[in-house]
């Protein structure tokens, strides 16, 4: 549990570094980018190995129907995340599509996982995404990008379905079948 918790904290600290300590970050230049990137990679490894190695400590029993809601929310999360890279009509409809996708992902996983490690991981990532949105909104004025072509949105739907399929295959490979029988 310690490694998992430390990973979540390092993830947040690495992402907040530029916004909360610009005076320390700016003089570091490109070396600072490398330090932050290394911290993010280290935090991901800590979260992965910490989560996989954590003892199962039961906190609550999620109802079985939440699996269906989780799957729907994950499909939406993949789509919303993809909106950050789209050049279609949906471009600019949402200020923080990646962070919104993380929030959807975290809530979806909190709905289906009732153990302490899951609450630390997904709750921690949810808290980080909410805090990130608040920090960004307070520090930057958003200029909404102009919408693009509708055919790019169709491509986004296709990419979303393919990525969702890949993600479910990875879950199955890891021993977590995301679709109840």
pLDDT recorded at residue 140: 83
Domain count, the chain: 2
What's the pTM value of the predicted model, to 2 decimals?
0.87
Of the candidates 153, 31, 48, the one whose C-alpha atom is nearest the C-alpha of residue 92 is 153
46 and 88 both lie in a single domain: no
pLDDT recorded at residue 181: 63
pLDDT score of 161 more than 70:
yes
The DSSP secondary-structure symbol of 144 reads P
Domain end point (choices 11, 30, 54): 54
39 and 112 both lie in a single domain: no
Report d(CA 50, CA 75) in Å as an integer: 26
pLDDT score of 180 more than 80:
no
35 and 77 both lie in a single domain: no
Q: Give residue 34's domain range.
A: 1-54
Helices (H) and strands (E) in the chain, counts: 7, 0
Identify the residue with better confidence: 6 or 151: 6
Write the pLDDT tens digit of every residue in 9-43: 999 999 998 888 877 777 777 887 888 899 999 99
Report d(CA 4, CA 63) in Å as an integer: 25
- Does residue 19 sit in helix, strand or coil? helix
Write the pLDDT tens digit of every residue in 104-154: 999 999 999 999 999 999 999 999 999 999 999 998 888 888 787 888 888
pLDDT recorded at residue 76: 94
């Amino acid at each position: 549990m310690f490694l998992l918790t430390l990973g979540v904290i390092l993830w947040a600290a690495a992402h907040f570094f530029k916004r909360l300590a610009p005076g320390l970050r700016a003089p570091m230049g490109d070396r600072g980018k490398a330090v932050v990137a290394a911290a993010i990679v280290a935090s991901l490894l800590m979260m992965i190995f910490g989560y996989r190695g954590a003892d199962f400590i039961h906190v609550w029993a999620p109802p079985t129907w939440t699996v269906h809601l989780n799957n729907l929310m994950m499909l939406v999360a993949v789509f919303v995340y993809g909106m950050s890279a789209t050049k279609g009509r949906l471009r600019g409809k949402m200020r923080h599509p990646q962070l919104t996708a993380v929030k959807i992902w975290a809530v979806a996983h909190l709905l289906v996982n009732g153990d302490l490690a899951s609450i630390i991981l997904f709750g921690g990532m949810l808290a980080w995404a909410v805090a990130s949105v608040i920090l960004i909104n307070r520090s930057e004025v958003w200029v909404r990008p102009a919408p693009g072509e509708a055919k790019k949105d169709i491509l986004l739907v296709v990419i979303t379905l393919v990525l969702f399929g890949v993600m479910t295959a990875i879950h199955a490979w890891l021993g977590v079948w995301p679709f109840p029988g």
